[in-house]
Amino acid sequence: MTFKEKIYSHYIQMVQDRIDVFRDMISNLTEDSKNDAKGSAGDKHETALSMMHIEQEKLTHKLKESIAQIAVLDKIDPAKITENIVLGSLVKANGIYLYVSVALPKIAIDGINVIALSPQSPLGNHLMGNKVGFEFEINKTHYIIQSVE
């Protein structure tokens, strides 16, 4: 498995794990609210149900975000290598590895830090469509694209 394929696999697993956790949490809240509804009455009961509902809405929103992220990742072919930077490219700029996909936490693969960023982010936007040797500046930091996979 190539370095880029390891990165892709790690991020797919990370997002899938989030989806599973959010689904479990939503399911548990739904079950708790059903059980709570059977034996309680009064203002405290209504407040508790309302709080559960609010938490369930937050989790549902996070679940939808994670599903959207995995949909973007599913469009990527990790074996594909292009000259120009596209969705799914692994870019080395200023010694930093950037994975153009979706905004996700920094990870370390084989002891090397990798930052996943969205093509819509300021840095991702500057990278898209460019090649090795392209230079640009963001927030007074000068970047040079060293490699594209």
Tens of pLDDT along 89-136? Answer: 999 999 999 999 999 999 999 999 999 999 999 999 999 999 999 999
Rounded to two decimals, the pTM is 0.86
- The predicted pLDDT at position 33 comes to 72
Task: Report the C-alpha gap between 131 and 143 in whole angstroms.
Answer: 12
Mean pLDDT computed over every residue of the chain: 91
Burial class (CB in 10 A: 0-12, 13-18, 19+), 25: middle
Q: How much is the average pLDDT of 27-50?
A: 70
pLDDT at 40 over 70: no
Task: Report the C-alpha gap between 117 and 104 in whole angstroms.
Answer: 7
